[in-house]
Amino acid sequence: MSQFYNDAIFWVEVEKIKPNPYQPRRDFDPAQLKSLADSIRQYGVLQALVVTRKEVEKPEGGLGVEYELVAGERRLRAARLAGLVQVPVLIRTGEETDLMKLELAIIENIQREDLSPVDRARAFERLTKEFNFTHAEVGKKVGKSREYVSNTLRILMLPEFILTALSEGKITEGHTRPLMMLIDRPQEMETLFKEIVFKKLNVRESEGIARSIAVEKARKLLDHELIEIEGMFKEKLGTRVRIEKRNEGGRLSIDFFNKDDLRALLDRIDKEHLQTEVTQASPAEV
C-alpha cells in the first residue's frame, strides 16, 4: 500500500482541516507569517500539506469527512491569512498513531529548521517522557547525535523567563551555555542574563563572566592551608598565583607577561631550589 492516497494531491477546504494536536511548534512569528501569506497570494501554496482523512457521523445524520493536519501548520496559517479557500494536500493512508503524528511533526520542523531551540527541546522531551525513547533513539529519529539531543534537553533546566527570552530571540542558543554554568547559582544566573540582554554581550563575553564566577566559587572552597600556600607562592615568585581546587587534586596557575618573564620565574625557582640544597647540606659537603 502506498504511503499517500493514490499518490495524488487533493484540494481541501481550509476550514475542514483541524490542527495537529502534537504540533511541537508553539511560536509563529507574525512578520514571517505575513511574508509567507503575501507570497502565497502571489504564487499559491507551492508545497502540499500532509493530512489524515477519516469519515465521521454528523450530528444531524449521515457521514462527513474530517482532515487532521500532520505537517504544514505554518503554511496552513499563512493560507488562512492570505484568504485561500482551499489548499493542496497529500492524504496519508492507514491509521496514524499519536507517536507517528508527533514524530512526523517534529521531523518536518527540524528538517525545515522551523523549530525554536525551546520548542525543539520540548518536542524531544515529549518523545522521551510520553513514548519512553532514549536520547540515542530520539537522535536516530531526527538524524542527530545522542549528545545533540542531550544538550538540547538541558536547555529546559533553565528558568522560564530565560526560555521565553530564547524563544523571542532576545538571547541566542549559544548564550544558554554560559547560563547553564551557573545553574546552581540562580541569582548570579539572573544577573548574567540581564547583562546579556541589556549590554548585548556576545557568547564569548558571557562565557568569560560565567567562568570567572565559577572559578571564584571554587576558590571559596579552598581551605586555610591552601590559601596560605598560595600566599607563599606569590611571595616567592613575585607574581600572581592562583590555586583552583577540584574534586581530585587541582590546578596551580602562575601569571607571566612574556617569555623573558617566564624565564625569570624559572631562574627564580632554580635559585630557590639551589639555596635550599645549600642550606640543608653539611659543612663538609659545602
| Angle at alpha carbon of residue 162, lines to 156 and 165, rounded to 5° | 115
Of the candidates 242, 236, 228, the residue with the CA atom closest to the CA atom of residue 275: 236
CA dihedral 253, 254, 256, 261 (to 10 degrees): -140
* Strand runs labelled E in the chain: 4-13, 17-18, 49-57, 63-71, 86-92, 241-245, 250-254
Using DSSP, state whether 39 is helix, strand or coil.
helix
> Which residue matches cell numbers 531526527?
142
CB 65 within 8 A of CB 89: no
Catalytically annotated residue among 60, 68, 73, 277: 73
User: What are the residues whose beta carbons fall under 8 Å from the beta carbon of 35, sequence distance 6 or more?
Assistant: none
Q: Which three cell numbers stand for residue 65?
A: 469527512
Neighbours of 174 (CB within 10 A): 13
**In terms of DSSP bridges, do strands 86-92 and 250-254 run parallel, antiparallel, or are they unpaired?**
unpaired
∠ CA 126-129-134, rounded to 5°: 100
Region class of 5: left (phi > 0), else alpha (psi between -120 and 50), else beta: beta
Q: Is 73 a catalytic residue?
A: yes
Active-site positions read: 73
